[in-house]
Amino acid sequence: MRFGAQQDQEPRIDLVPFIDVLLVVLIFLMLTTTYSRFTELHLTLPVASADAAHERPSEIMISITADGHYAVDRDALAGGTAEAIADALRAAHAAPDTRLVISADANSTHQAVVTAMEAAQRVGLSRITFTAQNPGG
């Protein structure tokens, strides 16, 4: 038996399990990562002069009330048919490039708006836009 002073051994860190764990994590990340390629589009954008005048197309406004009455450019209409609205649009000098703005009350019927669109079709207006207001005001 040895009863003497034991030799002090320096503690060692075994790196093999640590490297094994790192390789497993690396393989996991490589398998689960999606690689995407970003392609660049080389565009030559047109140049515009800041001094160019901005022409606003002519507009005709149709207003529709909640109870189904119509007004073309703030002139109230007696009839609510598509033909009466079309006649009023013709009287307002509606050209094919004229923009029609439909401003309908939130409580107006869907049929009232469709009738206004049908009248625009009869006159030949294809550029139609609708007005709305912000919920906050």
pTM, two decimals, is 0.56
pLDDT at position 38 is: 55
Task: Tell me the pLDDT of the chain averaged across its residues.
Answer: 80
pLDDT at position 5 is: 62
Residue pLDDT, tens place only, 83-123: 999 999 888 876 767 898 998 888 888 999 999 999 999 98
Sequence spans of domains, the chain: 59-130
pLDDT at position 25 is: 95
pLDDT at position 33 is: 80
Burial (0-12, 13-18, 19+ Cβ within 10 Å), 38: exposed
* Residue 69 CB coordination number (10 Å): 16
Query: 40: pLDDT confidence band, cut at 50, 70 and 90?
Result: low
Query: 11: pLDDT confidence band, cut at 50, 70 and 90?
Result: confident
pLDDT at position 41 is: 53
Q: Which CATH architecture has domain 59-130?
A: 2-Layer Sandwich (3.30)
